[in-house]
Structure 1
Amino acid sequence: MLFQDLKLIDPILKALSEEGYTTPTPIQAQSIPLVLERKDLLGCAQTGTGKTAAFSIPILQILSEKKSTERKRAIRCLIVTPTRELAIQIGESLQAYGKYTGLTSTVIFGGVNQSRQVTALQHGVDILVATPGRLIDLMNQRYISLSNIEIFVLDEADRMLDMGFIHDVKRLLVSLPPRRQSLFFSATMPPEILRLASTILHDPSKVEVTPVSSTAETIKQFMYFVDRGNKNDLLVDVLKDPKIKTCLVFTRTKHVADKVVKMLALHNIKAEAIHGNKSQNARQSALTNFKAQTTRILVATDIAARGIDVDNLEYVINYEIPNVPETYVHRIGRTGRAGANGTAFSFCDAEEKEYLKDIEKLISIKIPVIDDHAYPLMDHNPPKTIQGGRQQRSSSPRATSSAGSGRSGGSSNKPAGSASRRPSSGGSSSSSSSRSRNDGPPKKRW
């Protein structure tokens, strides 16, 4: 199937051709016709499958069929997404696909001065992309009215729930016209998300292109078991591999992200951090440098990384195992996108083994283990904390000394990061599942 087969108008087809896009991904092929038929849609797809184009292309076509003749255009479509980075990505996509439609769009988000955003709104826009906090703020200041909304999109709903935006979303729903088309997208569909969807959608069509919370078959996954105090040394060893031109490294907290960047600098490895404490300009600068490969390593927290969209990113490293299993899927989904190959390394210390069990249960895969490295796990019995009279695992990994402490076993001359090493045959080292994907990739990733 080609985009020409989806009954798209010439201005959009021309823009897609100029972007080098010819073949829709599965979610695009299924979603675009349904949205064009003005149906509500419940879309479940893992990150990297082309969700943004799946809703933005038909929205542009619907709105272009009846353009506003008012001098100041009222907002006709609202797209709500959890993070600044993802909002910017959606805005860029709308500009690219809609550049010949005559429609206008703008993006608003917090963390920056509102003056430019307000000016854009005062000039009038057809499509507004927004994060919940800034949207509610500008609505309260009466810069935004949602009374003319024809299409409402809630993107990355599961992350919206994780970040505590559920109450803001419910406030928005009250302000939306009852007669509208609603599109709801989420990478996972836990019960809370399905309940939220039921309050937004009316008799929706459902599109689910992959099993819930699955990982792409094109991503090679490997696990290192390592003491927490040796993770810095292991990271440096892995990054000695010349095949790793650029790499996205995940941490759970902003503090650890900054520490990793400083540590890598001591080893002459150019790295920058991207997280919520960074200014918007700093975050965009770091992302731009990473895309241009002037920065080799980008260290990110989960919330900041949701909107990271980098062509041909081949390597992801989980410096810390996420404590929410779905987050693992989102993280490694930054690579191996749209049929491309990718590799994900994960560093697991003793206290994170419980997180690993949850991840492997979710993805139905035993992640192969690399045990031929210089920093094997020695502390197999992390301390417990006493809560409520019962022994429980502490809620976060215990603090240990920084890089270089507790080094044990192995040869320092062996590179730790070679993905070609044969995984261990014991423990969690069975091969990944044999599911296959027959859908051809698009000419260029979305």
Structure 2
Amino acid sequence: MVVTGMGIVSPLGNTVEEFWQGLIAGRSGISTIDVFDVSNMKTKIAGIVRGFNPEEILGRKEARHMDRFCQFAMAAADQAWSDSKLEIKQINLERLGVYVGSGIGGIKTLIDNVDILRAKGPGRVSPTLVPAMIANAATAQISIKWGALGPTMSPVSACAIGNTAIGEAFRLIRYGEADVIAAGGAEAAITDLAIASFVNAKALASRNDEPTKASRPFDAKRDGFVMSEGAGILILESLAHAQARGARIYAEVLGYGLSSDAYNMVASHPEGYGAFLAMNKALQDAGISSEQVDVISAHATSTLTGDLSETMAIKRVFGTQAYKIPVTANKSMTGHMLGAAGGAEAVALIKSLQEGIIPPTINQEESDEQCDLDYVPNMARRKNMKIGLSNSFGFGGHNAVIVLKKYEQHTTGLN
């Protein structure tokens, strides 16, 4: 199964090229929140999507009936579709699917309508509230726009959603259930309610005076994640379908692994056992050995326990080889895009494999003796690579890992 299109909306840019150039430059997309009043908030920073005008993409009428997360998803899906050069009239719509998820869904729409209910009464609540806020809105809207009659789903696995969607779409295509599936995730949860809850859970970074230094995975001074937003979506096709239409192919999806921590709703397994299982299963599914992995895109949210448990899991999977594999953490620059993270990081990993450049993990200023792998500190690195592994983990102990490979024309035997 192969990737033929990519789309992104992010705090680093709203095209794949802008996003990629921001990553390899080591640029942070974190800034002070200016979209609502944060004067009484303990955390005042986030990764906010800038320069995004949904009306230019969707039209005023359509944009008004969609939550921001759905607008992001539609924009990223449009980019990916255009990038793939697919033509609606030339494909079997019964074999075209959409797998796009969101961890929180339309929370801004919900909050706005609760405010309206309290201030103006039930008669003023929007009749489009429910279809705008539900987590499957993005999948539904994309499938309606394209006329996709094939499998559609909105997986909900918290911050593992992007990889879950890509992995489940990969399985469907491999099993012959579809020819083409748009897969990824979207999120737009930067609201006063969500920020307040994460602050009270002591989950967020506290460097309000240095926003660009707040997200610092694996650094000894890390103190929490930085909330972010956006969307990342891939177009996945069977190899036969892509080759038959002469498509440009970016990468192959080789394997997919799932597991559960079965430990805690918000905390990672202290020894990273669930993460170890998911990585191991992904390698087994791909039919490759750990020695064949050239780079790891870490989940790495910049929390004390999460980064440590992921480091332990990587060591358990790769043994002494773990010290030889570069590990990059995109969230050091993007912040944590929640349900959009896996899709965005898949785009980054594909570009990395293509270009032979590993984005840095920025804000590596003080080493943590327990997090002692090669995290590609502060500057991008050139390396010839073929295979990369991408980790995504979520609240509730959901773990999803995908294995991607740089596409080579002579590759055979894939679906």
TM normalised by structure 1 equals 0.27
* Bigger radius of gyration among the two: 1
TM normalised by structure 2 equals 0.28
